[in-house]
């Protein structure tokens, strides 16, 4: 089936000829929303924000055209977030007074539900793998999608809640460990779900969901022990539009590197004779690992360049050998070497898988260990 579709696409005279009415409707809705926002709120935006708004419509339209689930994911998240906004009515105290806000749609409630869905998703994926049950894996996949919907809803609502606290407090929710752990979980899950559909297999879910569940576990501990869910004003150095693009690009790298590591662990198990008939072929595992690292490396490179530009603006220099910068460079060099060996020397097999798995240790230290054990200019998320 996939082969026949590919042949049909290759014979089509143009990309746009492959788009159906729902694709065009999705694109039109995004464009209409961008134009409405520009007309209504343009006076409060600078040129950067207007450019981002206008570029978002074709970018997300292309994403939805390439990966069809985005066409329903974005409207559902938008409707749930707008419902929450309407329930608030401009009063943050409604979070404890309105039933649906208190138990489902406030940012903290939605994130708790997201965390729960991810944990149950992991359980069902493992049930599906252990019992060779398509039902268990299918439930795991649906729970993962539910977690993604609730997670993005929670982030959108948290963004709005920050402005209810005060116009000078409001900011995009990617500024501290609590928020970026949510972002990490969402990005990793989204990339996994894409590969799940692309390769028509749910057998990688048990492995990838483990790293997401670990992130959720840390998130819950951090929330309870540090009151981390409270929205705090941004530190002066973070009050920059660079944060809105540097941090998400960085965590696309972290998320895909983590995904590649977990796929690498599945590769090692199968290559040593374990779960032979329950995992995809070694060729598929190797291809997913390679593509995940390639995507992550591209975004991590962009994030590093953006971080240097931000540093020049905030601290007067592009590079200061701050611990976070140093470890970001180590991560970059690690995956640059992996890709170089792959392309130049044909790196494959167990060596590539072990390298990807060890890369998770390096990435984890750069992501979290620096905040725990080292100090420096990037000390915004200390434990």
Angle at 300 between CA 298 and CA 306, to 5 degrees: 110
**Going residue by residue through the chain (383 aa), what tens digit of pLDDT does each one get?**
333 444 433 444 466 778 888 899 999 999 999 999 899 888 888 788 788 888 889 999 999 999 999 999 999 999 999 999 999 999 999 999 999 999 999 999 999 999 999 999 999 999 999 999 899 999 999 999 999 999 999 999 999 999 999 888 988 899 888 999 999 999 999 999 999 999 999 999 999 999 999 999 999 998 988 888 899 888 877 788 788 889 999 999 999 999 999 999 999 999 999 998 899 999 999 999 999 999 999 999 999 999 888 888 877 778 788 888 889 999 999 999 999 999 998 889 999 999 999 999 999 998 887 777 665 555 555 55
CA nearest to 219, candidates 187, 176, 255? 176
Q: For the chain, which residues make up each domain, given as ranges?
A: 18-66, 70-186+202-209, 235-383
Which residue has tokens 């809803």?
Answer: 153
How far apart, in Å, are the Cα atoms of 331 and each of 300, 304, 362, 363?
9, 11, 6, 6
CA nearest to 9, candidates 72, 70, 66, 71? 66
């Amino acid at each position: 089936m996939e082969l026949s579709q590919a042949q049909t696409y290759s014979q089509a005279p143009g990309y746009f000829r492959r788009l159906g009415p729902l694709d065009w409707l999705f694109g039109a809705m995004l464009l209409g929303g961008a134009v409405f926002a520009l007309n209504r709120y343009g006076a409060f935006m600078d040129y950067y924000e207007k450019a981002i708004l206008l570029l978002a419509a074709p970018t997300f339209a292309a994403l939805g055209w390439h990966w069809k689930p985005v066409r329903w994911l974005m409207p559902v998240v938008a409707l749930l977030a707008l419902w929450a906004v309407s329930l608030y009515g401009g009063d943050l105290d409604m979070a404890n007074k309105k039933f649906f806000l208190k138990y489902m749609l406030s940012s903290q409630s939605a994130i708790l539900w997201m965390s729960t869905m991810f944990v149950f998703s992991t359980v069902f994926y493992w049930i599906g793998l252990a019992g060779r049950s398509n039902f268990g894996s299918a439930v795991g996949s649906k729970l993962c999608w539910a977690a993604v919907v609730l997670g993005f809803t929670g982030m959108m609502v948290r963004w709005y809640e920050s402005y209810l606290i005060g116009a000078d407090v409001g900011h995009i929710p990617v500024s501290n460990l609590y928020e970026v752990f949510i972002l990490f979980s969402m990005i990793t899950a989204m990339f996994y779900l894409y590969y799940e559909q692309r390769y028509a297999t749910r057998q990688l879910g048990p492995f990838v969901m483990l790293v997401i569940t670990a992130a959720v576990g840390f998130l819950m501990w951090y929330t309870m022990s540090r009151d981390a869910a409270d929205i705090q004003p941004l530190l002066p150095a973070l009050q920059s539009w660079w944060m809105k693009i540097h941090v998400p690009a960085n965590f696309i790298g972290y998320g895909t590197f983590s995904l590649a590591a977990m796929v690498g662990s599945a590769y090692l198990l199968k290559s040593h004779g374990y779960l032979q008939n329950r995992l995809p072929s070694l060729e598929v595992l190797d291809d997913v690992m390679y593509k995940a690292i390639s995507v992550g490396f591209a975004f991590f490179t962009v994030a590093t360049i953006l971080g240097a530009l931000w540093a020049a603006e905030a601290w007067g220099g592009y590079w200061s050998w701050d611990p976070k910068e140093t470890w970001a460079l180590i991560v970059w060099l690690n995956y640059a070497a992996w890709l170089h060996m792959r392309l130049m020397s044909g790196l494959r097999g167990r060596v590539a898988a072990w390298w990807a798995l060890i890369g998770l240790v390096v990435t984890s230290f750069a992501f979290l260990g620096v905040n725990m054990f080292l100090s420096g200019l990037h000390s915004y998320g200390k434990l």
